[in-house]
Structure 1
């Protein structure tokens, strides 16, 4: 609290009041010295020695000290101190895009890539802050918008649980579908401030195999549209599935996911286990659900100033039987 710089104050000109506080301190010291001199000049010294203590207690200055410090603290509060604070986003759009190609039935991640992905995605959806509109797209040979952006988490969770596997991987088409859903939603809810900020969370385990739009080209389009893509490369190099009686290796494709994230201005995440995937989604939930803003931080200063002012009054009553 006390490490704030002048640049962190909304109205720093209130610090001019500190000059008045300093003046009060000087006046107090001067008056105390004048009082002492008057007492020595006009008092009967023999009588003064009998009825007055040899040394006045330091505690008689406590009320004034408390009051001056309270004035300083209240001056800081008036100057409007601010601090960077994490606050929930009140508007944003996120499209969760999940790969349901046949490679997702690989069991290198137990119980399977798909089931682990479903559990983590449900947790992600349910944990997002209320101000986020979340949509869901599944993709294999084509992309399907299962849930348009909404704050209804139950609808998204239900659709995640109903995901079914299919052939091929059209990653580029999935990105295009997510951008279209974001654009349509933005036109509906966008006000004077324009559409809410948006992001695509793309989770896949394999290489792009089909599609009318290449994934890298779609990522560049997302960059132009100001929609970063957070990619999650899910799986291991040892992934194997059986398709039509034939054993087929399905190693994860980290390089493509890194490039998509880079081209779109997003971030790449690697998840080689169900636990790692949950951690990735937790990280994304923090990044997406919250933002850092300069918020008012005057309350602690106001509270301390008020408490000290009350202590000053109490001390004055105890030590001098009067208010300062």
Structure 2
């Protein structure tokens, strides 16, 4: 269904017609002298042609109509969609530091790095959270807002999939990620504010200490669930052949446990993709969505399409006018010049 935001601008549509019927300015002088009769004939032909609407004139009228319609800010209301609001504001803080490229996970029986596994599991989790407002924060050496809180889980999921290792720096600013999350949640009226923080390391950067940020989160009623990601064992090739190492030696589990305990959240350890899937299923149970439904209709703005169409027809009008002027000048230059005989 089409809806106009500013319908009163439609009153401008007849403006060109009104201007057309306004009294025209009269030319000064009593008459015009023509050098010979052929000029008179050409003048009469041009008058007859001018009475017919030209292509340029029609394009100009269409351009004006489209411009007025664009000014009214038309929007197309899509089909109603069911949304289940829970009043819960849920932020996901995703680590993009350099260590997230360690390939100690698996997807579809193929080796995958930690970020690829996290994004795959997050995709299912986000799409299942119908009704929650979800946002995404990415952090490395600094923390950035990747996606603001929104019910649009499809767009949120797309922005998560676009995140890449190194976007926020190579180090890990856990405290800054928590601090930015609190800033994005503090003005929200919801009393159900949740942060899910996923990292594979320790706090090595940032201006805010993680435990100080956690204390402030607790004072703001923000519950923080922490996830430590990374396998305990990994086979690597060395000079002496295959060797088993622990790729998660940098993971500060004590810090993540303290953050979760201080804010009333839970700490989870994800050593594999299957562990991540189980963790997010547990989070679904810890932070459930209610069953009360509301309906929303998506809005699609048509302003830019109408504005572009108006511009196209305006250019066509100018081109048609130039072509008409060229034809007239060609006709005059090709007419023979003969003097009148007395």
TM over 0.5: yes
Does the residue aligned with 1:229 lie in a helix, a strand or coil? strand
Q: Equivalent residue for 1:225?
A: 220
Structure 2 residue 177 is matched with structure 1 residue 174: yes
Give ranges in structure 2 of 5+ residues lacking alignment. Answer: 1-83, 107-111, 237-244, 292-342
Q: Equivalent residue for 2:90?
A: 94
* CA offset digits 1:89-110 (Å, max 9, x no partner): 6211000111111110111112
In structure 2, C-alpha distance between the alignment counterparts of 1:206 and 1:133, rounded to whole Å: 28
Higher helix share: 1
In structure 2, C-alpha distance between the alignment counterparts of 1:145 and 1:118, rounded to whole Å: 16
In structure 1, C-alpha distance between the alignment counterparts of 2:137 and 2:235, rounded to whole Å: 25
Q: Spell out the pairing of 1:134-213 with structure 2 (5 A cutoff).
A: 134-166=134-166, 167-184=170-187, 186=188, 190=189, 195-213=190-208
Report the TM-score, using the length of structure 1 for normalisation. Answer: 0.56
In structure 1, C-alpha distance between the alignment counterparts of 2:125 and 2:177, rounded to whole Å: 20
Q: Contact 2:234 / 2:247 at 8 angstroms: preserved in 1? A: yes
Q: Contact 1:106 / 1:239 at 8 angstroms: preserved in 2? A: no
In structure 2, C-alpha distance between the alignment counterparts of 1:261 and 1:236, rounded to whole Å: 21
Q: Contact 1:257 / 1:268 at 8 angstroms: preserved in 2? A: yes
Does the residue aligned with 2:105 lie in a helix, a strand or coil? coil
In structure 2, C-alpha distance between the alignment counterparts of 1:239 and 1:182, rounded to whole Å: 38
Report the TM-score, using the length of structure 2 for normalisation. Answer: 0.53
In structure 1, C-alpha distance between the alignment counterparts of 2:234 and 2:164, rounded to whole Å: 19
Q: Contact 2:130 / 2:153 at 8 angstroms: preserved in 1? A: no
In the alignment of these two chains, the number of paired residues is 193
Give ranges in structure 1 of 5+ residues lacking alignment. Answer: 1-87, 242-246, 293-324
Change (3 A) 1:136 1:239: farther
In structure 2, C-alpha distance between the alignment counterparts of 1:218 and 1:115, rounded to whole Å: 28
Bigger CA drift: 88-97 or 214-223?
88-97
Cα root mean square deviation, aligned: 2.5
Q: Contact 1:135 / 1:149 at 8 angstroms: preserved in 2? A: yes
Change (3 A) 1:146 1:105: same
Q: Equivalent residue for 2:263?
A: 264
* CA offset digits 1:273-315 (Å, max 9, x no partner): 00110111111123223369xxxxxxxxxxxxxxxxxxxxxxx
In structure 1, C-alpha distance between the alignment counterparts of 2:275 and 2:212, rounded to whole Å: 29
Change (3 A) 1:139 1:211: same
Q: Contact 1:239 / 1:250 at 8 angstroms: preserved in 2? A: no
Q: Spell out the pairing of 1:96-115 with structure 2 (5 A cutoff).
A: 96-110=92-106, 111-115=112-116
In structure 2, C-alpha distance between the alignment counterparts of 1:237 and 1:263, rounded to whole Å: 26
Does the residue aligned with 2:203 lie in a helix, a strand or coil? coil
In structure 2, C-alpha distance between the alignment counterparts of 1:143 and 1:254, rounded to whole Å: 20
In structure 2, C-alpha distance between the alignment counterparts of 1:256 and 1:239, rounded to whole Å: 24
Change (3 A) 1:284 1:161: same
1:272 CA drift (Å): 0.6
In structure 2, C-alpha distance between the alignment counterparts of 1:254 and 1:239, rounded to whole Å: 19
In structure 1, C-alpha distance between the alignment counterparts of 2:145 and 2:222, rounded to whole Å: 17
Does the residue aligned with 2:287 lie in a helix, a strand or coil? helix
